[in-house]
């Protein structure tokens, strides 16, 4: 079975603020890590490979330093990796990102199953997986909470819904996004890390894509435009209380009593 | 739309210029500034780079004929005809937006044997419910549902499509948006509309304490998802308005090879979404054992307890107790946060609570911006005393 896992590098912290006076972004840390949700996708891919054979590829898109997470995936057991990187992809929204990924996947190979994490911790949209599936013209199942089994040319999975669980039989090729906690992700192995430290990865830029039209990528290929960014505001009626623990607990208690939350 | 140009000849202090970028997207390559793929085109460098960086707009897109796309459509989220309440909340918002531009509100209802159930939606003030009642739509299958949804959009051409950010909506909406090569903004917390029918979509962005205002100016339909309990549902009226129209679609169009083998009910869980009173633990809770303070306060108030993302990540509590954009959205009558700093992600999941008490020892904690009662103090001093007082008041101590 040919398995592809799509992963993303995200900022380590969420400490980004806007200066209210200038409207300017302040980012305190440049540190980055693999999107935590992708660890579950990677683990799912590794288990499928271990049980049913085949090979596991990882793909990411981002700045050159995003290659670091491909090596992290190698240390967990991935076989080969590719990085999609080009300044022309900067400013991509969900659609342009999905399009770039689908083009990169076309370049990277043919896969039976593509596995994505549920969402990222920086974008939090959970939309790229299903958009990629549409662009590749393959079926997609999101929120997969368990994999039942793989048979000759299909996979049987449990999809979580609001109140129900749907069991689906999905033919290959297909794309799934997996929930957190589907499996416990393994730790990277030091031995594998040493063995794969110099492994070659593929790098794709706009010139490697099937569609080389610049207008379909980056900001130009993004239907959504960020008009402005601003700090969140609040127009609530507010009171600020300070004092000793005794005073404050008494005030909260009196307020709760008045609002009839307690006797 | 456009691109960034670096005027190398104007660049003097390259190290200082590189530092402007919060995303680390600039590099010094042999005395030339190069912009790499980390660039998000936030244009911060244009503002602060003293003329070294210039943003050049590309010539205008031919664009779409906006007058050809009319009305605000709401996707009816349901399982077996049981309508998810987020649908009514979106209808409420759609009516508000539609009134501003004087256009109709549509609901689109896809499924099997749903024509009768569509009647219920007419109590909420939509102009038309479009149904597609087919056996191929019995259970949710993303390919078949997308085909039926696309059929609606092609025929009716709504300017705006709103979808609830439920497990179904969050996969169906992107599939359909990709089909039309149009924009989709996830988890909007505020929606408004311009006279030219451009939808103003506001959501937390960059994974931090920032809100972004997003437009889809050159594409139609404009699509957005909104989480449950963010907007207000209109009151159900006794009379009905509007009408129901069946959309024709040839069964041969449903080509999906995916088979739904079974649909079973999840074991019933009393989730934090349904609690009227919630007590929330944040990182101010120092040890796992100390969670008992939060649990006990919840218990004496006959409420439930929840937590922030870091507590789930370190394994103290289960993900289903997490509030926030990557957890659950809650709207209780009373919420008491204990040692919660209040990231945008968290606040987006609870800011519509009716009464918010926030206990935090940091007077500058951002949770205080949304709190009705900002209690500046140590939770370890306040909470045990509060529990005592409530117990005494109830006569259980």
- Confidence at residue B71, expressed as pLDDT on a 0 to 100 scale: 97
pLDDT score of A47: 98
Domain at B2-57: CATH code: 3.30.70.20
Is the per-residue pLDDT at B384 higher than 70? yes
Q: Which of B169, B196, B194, B167 is nearest to B184 (CA)?
A: B169
Report pLDDT for B59: 60
Cα separation, A11 vs B230, in Å, equals: 27
Across residues B274-302, what is the average pLDDT?
94
Span B336-344, mean pLDDT? 95
- Between B17 and B61, where is the model more confident? B17
Mind listing the pLDDT tens digit for each residue in B4-17?
A: 889 998 888 888 88
Q: How many CB pairs under 8 A join A and B?
A: 333
Write out chain A residues lying below 8 Å of B146, CB-based.
134
pLDDT of residue A204: 98
Chain B contacts in chain A segment 95-134 (CB below 8 A): 95, 98, 119, 121-134
CA torsion sign, A115 to A117 to A119 to A121?
negative
Taking CB atoms and an 8 Å limit, are A228 and B212 in contact across chains?
yes
Residue B5's nearest CA partner among B43, B31, B38, B37 is B43
Least confident range from A21-25, A130-134, B97-101, B385-389: namely A21-25
ipTM over 0.85: yes
φ and ψ of B176, to 5 deg: -70, -40
Among A15, A24, A120, A127, the strongest candidate for a mutation testing the B interface, having the largest count of B CBs within 10 A, is A127
The pLDDT value recorded for residue B34 is 86
Q: Which two tokens stand for residue B313?
A: 């990540």
| pTM score of the predicted model | 0.80
Average pLDDT over residues B175-191: 96
Numbered ranges of CATH 3.40.50.620 in chain B? 66-250
3-state class (DSSP) for residue A252: helix
> pLDDT by residue (tens digit) across A64-119?
999 999 999 999 999 999 999 998 998 899 999 999 999 999 999 999 999 999 99
Which pLDDT does position B87 carry in this prediction? 97
3-class secondary structure, A254:
helix
Residue B396 pLDDT > 80, yes or no?
no
DSSP B194-227: -TTS-EEEEEEETTTTEEEEEE-TT-SSEEEEE-
Superfamily of the domain at A2-216: HUPs (3.40.50.620)
pLDDT of residue A155 exceeding 90, the answer is yes
Hey, what are B73's tokens? Answer: 């459509």
Residues of chain B with CATH 3.40.50.1220: 272-394
pLDDT of residue B119: 94
Is 70 exceeded by the pLDDT of residue A18? no
Residues 6+ apart with CB under 8 A from A166: A158, A159, B139, B140, B260, B262, B263
Residue B261, H or E segment = strand B259-265
Residue B375's nearest CA partner among B336, B346, B344 is: B336
Subunit contact A25:B22, Cβ cutoff 8 A:
yes
Give how far A159 is from chain B: nearest CA, Å: 9
DSSP A239: E
User: According to the model, what pLDDT value does residue B168 have?
Assistant: 96
What is the distance of C-alpha B97 from the center of its chain? 17
% residues pLDDT > 90 (chain B)? 71
For chain A, give every domain's residue range.
Answer: 2-216
According to DSSP, residue B324 is labeled S
Q: Which tens digits make up the pLDDT trace of A171-220? A: 999 999 999 889 999 999 999 999 999 999 999 999 999 999 999 999 89
Q: Which of B130, B210, B201 is nearest to B160 (CA)?
A: B201
Return the minimum-mean-pLDDT range out of B58-67, B76-85, B284-293, B336-345. B58-67
Helix ranges (H only) for chain A are: 36-52, 67-76, 94-108, 128-136, 190-196, 245-258
A32-34 and A2-6 beta bridge pairing: unpaired
pLDDT at position B18 is: 87
Query: Within an 8 Å CB–CB cutoff, is residue B265 touching chain A?
Result: yes
What is the helix (H) or strand (E) element at residue B381, kind and residue range? helix B379-394
Closest CB to A91 among B39, B84, B355: B39
Domain covering B272-394 assigned CATH 3.40.50.300 in the classification? no
pLDDT of residue A90: 85
User: Which residue has 């209808």 as its token pair?
Assistant: B91
Q: Give the CATH number of domain B66-250.
A: 3.40.50.620
Q: Give the pLDDT confidence score for residue B266 in this predicted structure.
A: 85
């Amino acid at each position: 079975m040919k398995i592809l896992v799509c992963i993303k590098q995200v900022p380590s912290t969420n400490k980004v603020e806007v200066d209210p006076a200038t409207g300017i972004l302040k980012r305190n840390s440049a540190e980055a890590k693999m999107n935590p949700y992708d660890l579950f996708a990677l683990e799912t891919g590794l288990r499928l490979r271990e049980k049913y054979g085949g090979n596991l590829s990882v793909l990411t898109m981002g700045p050159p330093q995003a290659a670091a997470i491909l090596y992290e995936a190698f240390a967990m057991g991935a076989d080969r990796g590719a990085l999609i990187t080009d300044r022309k992809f900067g400013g991509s929204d969900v659609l342009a990102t999905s399009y770039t990924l689908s083009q990169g996947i076309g370049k990277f190979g043919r896969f039976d199953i593509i596995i994505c994490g549920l969402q990222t911790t920086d974008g939090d949209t959970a939309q790229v997986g299903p958009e990629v599936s549409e662009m590749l013209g393959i079926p997609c199942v999101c929120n997969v909470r368990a994999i039942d089994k793989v048979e000759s040319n299909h996979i049987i999975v449990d999809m979580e819904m609001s109140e129900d669980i749907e069991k689906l039989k999905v033919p290959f090729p297909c794309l799934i996004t997996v929930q957190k906690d589907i499996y416990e992700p393994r730790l990277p192995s030091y031995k594998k890390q040493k063995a794969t430290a110099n492994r070659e990865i593929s790098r794709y830029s706009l010139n490697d894509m099937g569609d080389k039209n610049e207008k379909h990528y980056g900001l130009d290929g993004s239907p959504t435009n960020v008009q402005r960014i601003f700090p969140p505001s609040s127009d609530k009626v507010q009171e600020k209380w300070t004092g000793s623990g005794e005073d404050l607990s008494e005030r909260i208690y009196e307020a709760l009593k008045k609002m009839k939350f307690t006797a | 739309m456009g691109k960034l140009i670096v005027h190398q000849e104007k660049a003097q202090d390259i190290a200082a210029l590189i530092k402007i970028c919060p995303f680390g997207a600039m590099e010094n390559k042999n005395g030339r500034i190069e912009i790499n793929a980390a660039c998000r085109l936030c244009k911060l460098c244009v503002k602060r780079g003293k003329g070294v960086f210039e943003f050049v707009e590309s010539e205008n897109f031919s664009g779409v004929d906006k007058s050809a796309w009319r009305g605000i459509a709401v996707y009816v989220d349901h399982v077996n005809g049981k309508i998810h309440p987020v649908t009514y909340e979106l209808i409420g918002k759609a009516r508000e937006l539609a009134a501003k531009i004087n256009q109709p509100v549509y609901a689109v209802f896809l499924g099997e044997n749903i024509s009768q159930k569509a009647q219920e939606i007419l109590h909420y003030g939509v102009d038309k419910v479009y149904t597609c009642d087919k056996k191929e739509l019995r259970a949710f299958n993303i390919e078949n549902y997308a085909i039926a949804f696309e059929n609606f959009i092609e025929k009716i051409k709504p300017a705006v499509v709103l979808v609830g950010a439920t497990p179904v909506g969050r996969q169906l909406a992107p599939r359909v948006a990709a089909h039309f090569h149009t924009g989709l903004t996830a988890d909007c917390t505020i929606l408004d509309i311009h006279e030219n029918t451009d939808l103003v979509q506001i959501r937390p962005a960059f994974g931090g304490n920032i809100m972004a205002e997003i437009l889809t100016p050159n594409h139609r339909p404009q699509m957005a998802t909104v989480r449950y309990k963010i907007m207000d549902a209109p009151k159900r009226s006794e009379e009905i308005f509007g009408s129901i129209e069946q959309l024709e679609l040839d069964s041969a169009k449903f080509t999906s090879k995916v088979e739904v083998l079974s649909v079973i009910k999840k074991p019933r869980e009393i989730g934090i979404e349904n609690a009227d009173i919630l007590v929330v633990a944040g990182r101010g809770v120092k040890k796992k054992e100390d969670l008992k303070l939060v649990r006990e306060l919840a218990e004496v108030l006959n409420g439930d307890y929840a937590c922030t993302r870091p507590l789930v990540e370190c394994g103290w509590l289960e993900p289903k107790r997490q509030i926030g954009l990557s957890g659950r959205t809650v709207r209780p009558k009373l919420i008491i946060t204990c040692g919660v700093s209040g990231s945008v992600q968290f606040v987006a999941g609870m800011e519509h609570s009716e009464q918010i008490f926030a206990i935090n020892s940091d007077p500058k904690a951002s949770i205080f911006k949304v709190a009705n009662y900002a209690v500046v103090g140590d939770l370890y001093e306040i909470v045990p005393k509060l529990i005592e007082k409530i117990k005494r008041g109830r006569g259980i101590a």
